[in-house]
Amino acid sequence: MATTYTYKAFGLTIQSEIELPELPLAIGSVDVNVSLGITPNTLENPLFIGVRFLTKHNEFLLKVDQIANYYVTGGNQITIELMPDVDFADVRLFLLGSAFGALIHQRGLLPFHGSSVNIDNSGVIFSGHSGAGKSTIAAALNKKGYPILSDDVSVISLMNNEMPFVVSGYPQMKLWADSIAKLGDEPSQYGIIRKRVEKYIIPIDKSFHEELLPLKNIFIIVPSNLGELKVESLKGVEKFNLLKYHTYRFNFIAGQEMQANHFRYLTTISKHVNVWRMTRPSKKFMFDEMINLILESVR
């Protein structure tokens, strides 16, 4: 029988046949199994075919050349077929990213592309395009004493009263070398996430919020050449469309049931959560000014 390890992430207890040092150890009944095995070469009658992946209802297949295939089913099983001589850091990167993104969609939750922080016992998500600074501003707030809930992907759950909550992820951030330097740290003290990629693993064990929190605010960060820093509240169709756009792995949603559930999430979040556009100068990161503006907006 294969050796297994039990971890906690995204509110789920995960039993895995591969070690996942990024995740904290856990005990309790298992929600998700991660096993090594043979995956199908394709899916029969897929509803959507994308770059490297196929999906339909509760089946998802991701094929990453020279790394692994990931077969995600039923919201509770991920089977990984390893390629020869693979670096397990690469395997874990796609597992904790796209594969878990698909699994979270299958479980009827909403993975949102953004980093989340605990501000005054409520969840605040920072989103935006790659390079906008969502992880960097979350890390800057963390340095000011605000605990991290999740980095890069924040899972949103609608609780019994149909209110949106942010589910805690796992105690790690990933930052580029220049972001670490801007925050006043030395990149060389951290390990890289994978070979040939100068993005670094930042442990956040001592400043990590482990429980879910009500989601109250989402900031969409937009770098601008105009050189100004401002925040504006978003309403109506623009608000809804940006929530849809920044859904993590939106194209993994396949079938009427999953699409209807996603629409329900978007309408509920639109109703109960403040969504802001934060425009910042593209050539510099004004940490103190941004933090002050964020705190003024959410309080």
Q: How confident is the model at residue 178 (pLDDT cuts 50, 70, 90)?
A: confident
Between strands 59-64 and 53-56, the pairing is: antiparallel
20-36 mean pLDDT: 95
pLDDT, position 168? 95
Q: Are 273 and 257 in contact (CB under 8 A)?
A: no
Q: What is the pLDDT of residue 1?
A: 64
pLDDT of residue 78: 98
Q: Say yes or no to pLDDT of 181 above 80.
A: yes
* Range with the largest mean pLDDT of 90-104, 220-234, 246-260: 90-104
Confidence grade of residue 124 (pLDDT, cut at 50, 70, 90): very high
What is the rounded CA–CA span in Å between residue 134 and residue 144? 16
Checking if the pLDDT of 133 tops 80, the result is yes
Question: Given pLDDT bands bounded at 50, 70 and 90, which one contains residue 130?
Answer: confident
DSSP H helices, the chain, are 88-94, 100-106, 134-143, 177-182, 236-245, 256-272, 287-298
Quote the pTM value: 0.93
Percent of the chain with pLDDT strictly greater than 70: 99
The first and second tokens of residue 10, run together, are 């995204």
Task: Tell which residue, 222, 219, 109, 220, has the closest CA to residue 168.
Answer: 109
Confidence of residue 223 (pLDDT cuts 50, 70, 90): confident
- Of 226 and 275, the structure prediction assigns the larger pLDDT to 275
Model pLDDT, residue 131: 80
35-94 residue pLDDT tens: 999 999 999 999 999 889 999 989 999 999 999 999 999 999 999 999 999 999 999 999
Above 90 in pLDDT, residue 260? Answer: yes
pLDDT on residue 161: 67
Return the pLDDT at 172.
94
147-163 confidence digits (pLDDT tens): 999 999 999 999 876 89
Tell me the domain boundaries of the chain: 5-93, 110-298
In percent, how much of the chain has pLDDT > 90? 76
> In whole numbers, what is the pLDDT of the chain averaged over residues?
92
Bigger pLDDT: 275 or 196? Answer: 275
For the domain covering 110-298, report its CATH number: 3.40.50.300
Report pLDDT for 174.
92
Provide the token pair at 33.
Answer: 């199994």
Q: What pLDDT is recorded for position 205?
A: 75
